[in-house]
Structure 1
Amino acid sequence: MAGQMPVLYLSHGAPPLADHPRWPGELAAWSRELPRPTAVLMISAHWEAAPIALGATTTVPLIYDFGGFPQRYYQVRYAAPGAPELADKVRKLLGGGGVVDVPDRGLDHGAYVPLKEMYPEADVPVLQLSMPTLDPQRLMQVGRRLAPLRAEGVLIVGSGFFTHNLRAITTGDEHVYNFTAEFDDWGRETLAAHDLDALLDFENKAPAAHLAHPRTDHFAPLFVALGAGADDFTNQRTVIDGFWLGMARRSIQLG
């Protein structure tokens, strides 16, 4: 629909994303192509909580939810403004009493790592929302309820990874296990065919689904995005593809 913000599903990368030769520039270029959002509503693979929870609506410290990286990755700052008005709207859309607040919960790396490349000035208000389930159908329903925010300039972002098997990490972007490439090809073809039923049943329909996603948390944000962008499902495109350390970094835009 005219006047609506697009919806994104992006493969967010680990903290070393900032050092990748192409990825930061790809994210920056993507954000320049988008209308300027009034706020970002971020659904990250790294926050599961039921009932649905809302993160901080003020600027609080980031969550460095990773280990084993050089110290400089723990010194990254991203002091985006909070979005209390957006939080009020989300509560109403999701049923008010079924939503809890976690006022001291800062942005995790699934949120701030890509946002730091897309909006480096940290001048767009950001609100993070938990995933209450990994069930694709239920996440679609959450996304559909959030969809009216698009007309108010809110950029809804599902942040995960198109494949995510940490035991299949490789030493370079071009070395990819067959099951990763097969799953990524299936996802590309299924999205192009607008086959929503197959996507929802990816654990049974996709080749090597349980190898590509031993746990489905990083694919799950796609379904919130698909729900929020359901009206634009036939108007979606891959913006970023390829691989990073053996994982598919396919990222899409609806609308």
Structure 2
Amino acid sequence: MPALYLSHGAPPLADDPLWPGQLAAWAADLPRPKAVLIVSAHWEEAPLALGATETVPLVYDFWGFPEHYYTVRYAAPGAPRLADRIRRTLRTAGTPVQDIPDRGLDHGAYVPLVEMFPAADIPVLQISMPTLDPRRLYEIGRKLAPLREEGVLIVGSGFFTHNLAALRHRGDGPPAWSAEFDDWGRRALAAQDLDVLFDFRHKAPAGQLAHPRTEHFAPLFVTLGAADAQGQLDSGRSVVDGFWMGLAKRSVQFG
């Protein structure tokens, strides 16, 4: 299976005239996964945690939205066998793995999955980010890479730029900092320059403006690790690009 990093949008993504169709078309071009393993910007938990392995209610981790966003359902099957596989893969003497069996999918997971796999008939497992350190997340991705050979779609779900100041931008086009970071990221990915990407806060133009806090860029490094372990960094391509409310929605596929 490929490894993906996608910009997941907020709950109103469903109302966008373009983006849901882009995600649906992307999914239609993928091989059908046996399961989806997703890492979302909206779940930081240490040590690394496995979410629900059976169908439980979604986590509506947002406030102040119209009521209909809180009635969305995505009753995908759980993935207990995948959870067992990850426990065996990641748990070592110095690296515990915990279970949080009542933790449902948050909006970083279910919002894009509703558009990509609307039948909700593919098992889904969400795991936490135990750190925001790019290199450590990359190593987690490398360890998870063999799951791709077993039909597991590995997805890092974040946002290529994420500073809500963009919502107050009134000029034409996206804010300059968002456009500059997006262009830098596109070029860094094409160059397969991991060292520069790891140090994006200091090496990217407007790096700290594009990501005042780094949790929305961090899932990319799980994806990069899962790709690099299979020698596929050179296969990276942007499937979705452009901007949504001033934020870069660049989403990439490896393999």
TM-score, normalised via structure 2 length? 0.96
Looking at structure 2, the residues matched to 174 and 87 of structure 1 have their Cα atoms a distance apart, in angstroms, of 46
Counterpart of 2:18 (choices 15, 22, 27) is 22
Alignment pair present for 1:32 and 2:28: yes
Long gaps (5+) in structure 1: none
Corresponding residue for 1:249? 249
Gaps of 5+ in 2: none
Corresponding position: 1:197 with 2:189 = no
The DSSP-based 3-state class of the residue aligned with 2:62 is coil
Q: Does 1:56 align with 2:48?
A: no
Q: Distance in 2 between matches of 1:168 and 1:34?
A: 32
TM-score (norm 1): 0.96
Q: Give matches, 1:33-182, under 5 Å.
A: 33-95=29-91, 98-170=96-168, 175-182=173-180
Amino acid of the structure 1 residue aligned with 2:240: I
Aligned to 1:11: 7
Return the offset for 1:171: 6.8
Deviation at 1:175, TM superposition (A): 2.9
CA–CA separation in structure 2 for the residues paired with 1:227 and 1:111: 19
SS in 1 for 2:153: strand
Indicate the percent of aligned positions where both proteins have the same amino acid: 69
For residues 61 and 171 of structure 2, the distance between their equivalents in structure 1, rounded to whole angstroms, comes to 24
Determine the C-alpha separation between the residues in 2 that align with 1:7 and 1:142: 13
Cα deviation, residue 174, structure 1: 5.9
> Is the CA contact 2:169–2:175 (under 8 Å) kept in the aligned structure 1?
no
Equivalent residues of 1:172, 1:246 under 8 A apart: no
**Contact residue 37 and residue 124 of structure 2 kept, 8 A:** yes
Residue 11 of structure 1 aligns to which amino acid in structure 2?
S
Determine if contact 1:173/1:244 at 8 Å carries over to the other structure: no
Distance in 1 (CA, whole Å) between partners of 2:36 and 2:170 is 32
